[in-house]
Amino acid sequence: MEIQSVGIVGAGQMGNGIAHVFALAGYDVLLTDISQDSLDKAIALIDRNIERQVARGKVTAEAKAEAMARIGSTLTLADLGACDLIIEAATERETVKNAIFEDLLPHLQPHTILTSNTSSISITRLASRTDRPEKFMGFHFMNPVPVMQLVELIRGIATDKATYQTLLGVVERLGKTAASAEDFPAFIVNRILMPMINEAVYTLYEGVGSVRSIDESLKLGANHPMGPLELADFIGLDTCLAIMNVLHEGLADTKYRPCPLLTKYVEAGWLGRKTGRGFYDYSGAVPVPTR
């Protein structure tokens, strides 16, 4: 089937980036969240981010105006029921995601494809709670969405071939690259990335190195664009911890045990950039290590 309209649940860091790329690719986008303030901030941020692309010559002013005109917003989740494709981009908690899909089900069109932007939760399990497991997939974008080229496509055990082929076509129209992953905890990217970040936190916890020396070592010694602790702050330490817990519980291997220091930072509310403090303090002009 051809996708023309896309509903996005969640106007946060991931949701607004997903709305941005879909609108620029010519899709009609309807964005929903639980507060009008969140929606207003998301639309304003999309406008600023596309304007930066215009300034760099990557997007024309006309294309920007057309994209912004394609983005609508609503506080009513049921309004998304008319869309051809729905992308859930809410917080990384399975109970929240299940509640969203349960509320959506009575309002969906028979052909509507449901997807989740989850970075780690079982697609098969999420799909089983809906009335269309064959039309359900994991659609995992990387952050920041407008910049990162990869999209992980994850089929649940019941996902049919037509749904998979449709989403492959969507990724191609977005100008991105699809990587197909099996439905195992954390899929491909986070199965490899999060244990590395967790090991960096252990390295800090055990006093092997400081925040700055650990990040500089990986940037200059392994040619990573960001150090692992800097990257954890960017992703959100709560998200990192949630994914490590999924890996630890889903694979029952002690090598995935979340570092106690990561847990402590999350308990303190030090979640990284979004709260102004994580492994770095972002209150000043230049981030300062907190350890």
The pLDDT value given to residue 92: 86
Conformation bin of residue 207: beta by default, left when phi > 0, alpha when psi is -120 to 50? left
Question: Catalytic one among 16, 38, 190, 198?
Answer: 190
Q: Is 152 among the residues known to form the active site? A: yes
pLDDT > 70: what percent of the chain? 100
Neighbours of 202 (CB within 10 A): 16
pLDDT at 234: 94
Mean pLDDT in residue range 169-192: 96
Distance CA 265, CA 285 (A): 22
Q: Active-site residue 140, yes or no?
A: yes
Q: What token pair was written down for 273?
A: 């950039």
pLDDT digits 0-9 by tens, 21-65? 999 999 999 999 999 999 999 999 999 999 999 999 999 999 999
Contact 201, 272 (CB under 8 A): no
Q: Cα–Cα distance between 31 and 15 in angstroms, integer? A: 8
Identify whether the C-beta of residue 281 lies closer than 8 Å to the C-beta of residue 273: no
Give residue 154's identity as a one-letter amino acid code: I
190 has catalytic annotation: yes
Is 119 marked active-site?
yes
Mean pLDDT of all residues belonging to the chain:
97
What would the two tokens of residue 215 be? 């990040």
Query: pLDDT value at position 27?
Result: 98
Q: Which of 73, 119, 120, 198 is catalytic?
A: 119
Domains of the chain: 5-181 (3.40.50.720), 190-281 (1.10.1040.10)
pLDDT band at 91, cuts 50/70/90?
confident
Quick one: pLDDT at residue 1? 79
Q: Give the pLDDT band of residue 129 (cuts 50, 70, 90).
A: very high
CB 139 within 8 A of CB 133: no
